[in-house]
Structure 1
């Protein structure tokens, strides 16, 4: 950049580098999606087309950013996880967040005709906002993911019951909301089954558990005979984040490039499964290790 008398304005740019050795979660949310769902007559309580579109856009983000180790989405929200060893954009919060938001939004708008082929997308167009949050330990990260999945279940059970009362029970929105005030999960399940013959357990898993995105690596049989079974590998402990223990040495440039290529080639899996219990993490140790197997 050429020097000029105006270059001093660069001094107003403040650094926003995120703390090292911490998990980075960039969570995006749809802006004004209540109006958008009404404008395009989304099905209630869940529109499968809209959720599939969200998942497709998220998969597009995962493919473009191999540094991402995982994603989790519900409704008009998606969380993207960078490993604590991530150095993308020198860990600048603004760059990471805006890249995720803009990439996701572009994929969402581009793929809209695929999932809503007979619905013309018109201004105001869908848009998303985002924030970056740091979590120092594996426990904190898993608790965050558990929080989002529990929220998915709570919100979906409420919405399923609410819309059953409105669409099948003949109540208006205020009356349905009043009837559900103070009810527990058992009460909502009872309303669904006794009045509308709906067994909540039989609802689609995507609606109840949300969508989990991760890189599904194929491990060759030869690798399995010479290396430990990845499903039995230990999950990194919180001790790795202790201030008294130095983080592991970074990969060499050659090793890092090979790791990146393996990530780019990996299939982006989209599952609707439990991420609260240990089973999910034990079977996919590369998510928390941050290293492609």
Structure 2
């Protein structure tokens, strides 16, 4: 690259490197999505097409970035956990968050016509997402993070289900619905839904109640015939650092692994019994 007298300005750039040997969680949030959802007439309390679009965009991001071990999404947010060994962009925070935000936004907009074919995006109101990066030292904190996000999903969705049922079925104004739910707990909301409207909240769509967990099943046997026909690689010499060949082979395996979508409880122990299969 040619040098010039103006090149000194590069010395002002700061590279914020994320700590090594930690899990990186990148959380995306929709910017101004309340107004966006109203503008495009999303269904209340949930629009399944919008949630499926979020899941589809997240799968595309996972397909492009093999260092993503798993992801969890609900409402207008998605969280991606990167492996501890991730070296993407040399773990530069600015590059990571900008790449995730731009890549997810691009896929969301590209896939939009598949889920909302009758609603053309308006250039004055386009979907965009921001991102942040958080570091966690062990799987314990990663598990608690995802548990926190699912608990948030449950609390918000139960409230929204009760709120919009009061408005759309109970003919209350939004102000009166807010007043009716003020000070209520989960049991009160469940009783209101069942007692007044015959709605058993536990029978609502699991994606609404539990959100969506995506994992890369690196133990999957669904490899292509081409990969099965490849000769077995020679054993690598024992060493502390993985060789370039090992790293490339593991990345190839992650790229080919099936991305599994689940709507299950991730707070209890059952889900995490096989976590080493996808998060390692």
Match of 1:139 in 2: 140
Contact 2:217 2:278 in 1 (8 A): no
Bigger mean CA deviation after superposition, 48-57 or 258-267: 258-267
User: Residues 22 and 84 of structure 2 are in contact (CA less than 8 Å); yes or no, is this contact kept in structure 1?
Assistant: yes
Alignment CA distance shift 1:73-1:249 (3 Å): farther
Structure 1 equivalent of residue 119 of structure 2:
119
Instruction: Name the CA distance, whole Å, in 2 between partners of 1:249 and 1:44.
Output: 54
Aligned to 1:92: 92
| CA deviation map 1:187-224 (0-9, x unaligned) | 00000001000000100100010000111245459xxx
Secondary structure (helix, strand or coil) at the match of 1:71 reads strand
Q: SS in structure 2 opposite 1:269?
A: strand
Residue 265 of structure 2 corresponds to which residue in structure 1? 274
- State yes or no: 1:188 paired with 2:189: yes
Which residue does 2:156 correspond to in 1? Answer: 155
Aligned mates of 1:98, 1:141 — CA distance in 2: 22
Any stretches of 5+ residues in structure 1 without a counterpart?
Answer: 222-247
Partner residue of 2:174? Answer: 173
Partner secondary structure for residue 29 of structure 2:
strand
Aligned to 1:209: 210
Shift in Å, 1:277: 1.7
Q: Deviations over 1:21-61 (max 9, x none)?
A: 11101101001111111111100000000000000000000
Equivalent pairs counted in the alignment come to: 263
Deviations 1:53-108 (CA, angstroms, capped at 9, x unpaired): 00000000000000100110000000011111111100000111111111100000
* Ranges of 4+ aligned residues in structure 1 off by more than 3 Å: 217-221
Instruction: Please give the TM-score of this superposition, normalised by the length of structure 2.
Output: 0.91
Say if 2:218 and 2:277, in contact at 8 Å, map to a contact too.
no
SS of the aligned residue for 1:89 comes to: helix
Q: Is the 8 A contact 1:71 1:214 kept in 2?
A: yes
Verify the 8 A CA contact 2:217 2:260 in the aligned structure 1: yes
Query: Whole-Å Cα distance in 2 between the matches of residues 277 and 119 of structure 1?
Result: 39
* 1:179 to partner: Cα distance: 0.9
Deviation digits for residues 226-274 of structure 1 (CA, Å, limit 9, x no counterpart): xxxxxxxxxxxxxxxxxxxxxx944211011111111111111111111
Name the Cα RMSD after superposition: 1.4
Specify the SS of the correspondent of 2:25.
strand
